[in-house]
Amino acid sequence: MKRRIGILTSGGDCPGLNACIRGVARASYSMFDAEIVGIQDGYSGLINGDFKEMNQSDFSGILTLGGTILGTRRTPFRNMRLIEDDHVDKVKAMKNTYKKAKLDCLVCLGGNGTHKTANLLSEEGLNVVGLPKTIDNDIWGTDVTFGFHTAVDIATDVIDRIHSTAASHGRCMVIEIMGNKAGWLTLYSGLAGGADVILLPEIPYNLKTVAKAIERRAEAGKDFSIIAVAEGAMTVEESRMKKRERAEFRTETHFHGIAARLAQELEEMIGIEARPVVPGHVQRGGTPSAYDRLLSTNFGVHAAKLIKDENYGQAVAMIGNTVGHNPLAAIAGKTKFVPEDAQAVKSARNMGISLGD
């Protein structure tokens, strides 16, 4: 049995991509006669026919390497069926590259957008397997995505380091954590880092409630506070707006990020000294943690098994304590938000941590 496998990484990079690529390749070489074709820069490479045949040696020494050896690029799903100024039929071009590269299947490593395009290609008749990567941990059907735990470690380290500055200067430090739609990263790192206030996209906040939480700490003799806020967090008022209305409102109010705005508003409302901290893309960089290396490897091996069994149209997932899979059609386009009854949310509330509501 011979399988010619195309592999691509799409969307934002994250720790564990190379470990997962390695897992797919090494397991495939071990379980059957495999040839690996690397697609450059995600779906962009698949559209433009940018691919190369890879050797077994290409997958050595990459287990601990951050980023992706294949390169990545964001190619929004919403544009996939649009014929734009370049007059390229993207879906047709991707199918042509698949045939030109003589692929038996395509393995797509990425987040929600990547999985939606993977499902599109599956519906178009290609043999596709999806692998869930994102520091946001928001892919439906899997308990965890690779890259998430490393990002939690990094964000927690940021919060840990900010504590000393906050305590030394008696300041309120507002730390903006990545997560535009889902607040898993902010919730977990906020709890692990000992934040006093945690603000999530799923739980719209009231500025007065946040201010009161800071004032209560001051009254209790605590002269500093730590706020962990997801980049996609919003006020109760903003949550009632449509997406376009909210964008226009933020433009009109010279919005430069949630941490900067919140710090300024708290200074004006209660007279404290507040400073924003934005670690940004640092949260996506560097070597994967031991947990993510193991998770990525297990996911990659399971993808190779799906290929061996010719079980295509699937997305690898962690379900309970077992690596399994879900149909791409069942999970594509769905986001896993933090539920209000999540254990970590309950723990935060029971510890007296303010969630801004």
Task: Report residue 143 as tokens.
Answer: 């308990």
Locate 249 and state its tokens. 């409102």
Apex 289 CA angle, 287 and 290, nearest 5: 125
Closest CA to 259 of 229, 286, 236: 229
Report how far residue 107's alpha carbon sits from residue 225's, in angstroms, rounded to the nearest whole number: 45
| φ, ψ of residue 105 in degrees (nearest 5) | -165, 165
Could you give the dihedral angle defined by the CA atoms of residues 290, 292, 297 and 302, in that order, rounded to the nearest 10 degrees?
140
| Eight-state DSSP code of residue 337 | P
The span from the first CA to the last CA of the chain, in angstroms, equals 58
Rounded distance, CA 86 to CA 137, Å?
34
DSSP assignment of 80-101 equals: TT---TT---HHHHHHHHHHHT
308: helix, strand or coil: helix
Report which residue type is found at 341.
Answer: D
Are 285 and 66 within 8 A, CB to CB? yes
- Enumerate the active-site residues: 136
Whole-number Å distance between alpha carbons of 94 and 57: 27
Instruction: Tell which residue, 25, 36, 20, has the closest CA to residue 133.
Output: 20
Q: Return the residue matching tokens 């290929």.
A: 307
